[in-house]
Amino acid sequence: MDDHEIVTRLYQRYAHALFKYIFSSLSPREEAEDILVEVFLAALRYQGLARMNEQQQFAWLIAVARNKLTDWHRRNSRFPHTSLEQVLPFMEQEFVEPDEPEIVMLKREEYALLKMHLSQLPETQREVLRLRFIMGLRHAEIGRLLGKSEGAIQGIFWRAIHSLRSLYQQEARSRGTYE
């Protein structure tokens, strides 16, 4: 199998999961799509994919996506901009349920609250949660990607979950809705 066939197969298999991972870290959909393209262009240029098994290839793609995201955040922290999607978040087609506007609004509110609480976590905890819930990776796989032991990742994961739970409880108390 040549390099183009390998990248095509990887794209067909992992593009959707990688896009969800990238989009979870960026609001502008177009920016996330651009980074996904950059990841697969890097895969086309990389000569070592054929020597890896599929699990290693997937881990390599995730590592490239993480690096591209880091570059994007570094670039945009120096030259900040606001896109329409950031000003009018959650107006994506996938959330539209025309028959039930109340549910759409509740989902938007819940998503905004989750995003706010996640922003209060340290970057490492956010990254572990994204890799676990968006990419569906196990703790051992996350550990290999981040250069940490499985036990360390489990600790980071559970601290993040505990912190989120505490943030939601504080929010509920402040609204007077805590049971």
Domain count, the chain: 1
CB atoms within 10 A of CB 24: 19
86 has pLDDT over 80: no
Residue 130: inside a domain: no
What is the CATH classification number for the domain harbouring 26? 1.10.1740
- Residue 20, domain extent: 1-87
Residue with tokens 């703790």: 139
State mean pLDDT over 74-85: 56
The pLDDT assigned to 133 comes to: 84
Q: What is the DSSP string of 21-46?
A: HHHHH-S-HHHHHHHHHHHHHHHHH-
**Does residue 108 belong to any structural domain of this protein?**
no
- For residue 153, being part of any structural domain is answered with no
Is 120 part of a structural domain of the chain?
no
pLDDT digits (tens, 9 = 90+) for 140-179: 889 988 889 989 999 999 999 999 888 888 887 887 765 5
Range in 72-76, 124-128, 134-138 with the lowest mean pLDDT: 72-76
CA distances from 165 to 16, 129, 160, 172 (A): 29, 14, 9, 11
Task: Say how many C-beta atoms besides its own lie within 10 A of residue 156's C-beta.
Answer: 23
Has residue 30 got a pLDDT over 60?
yes
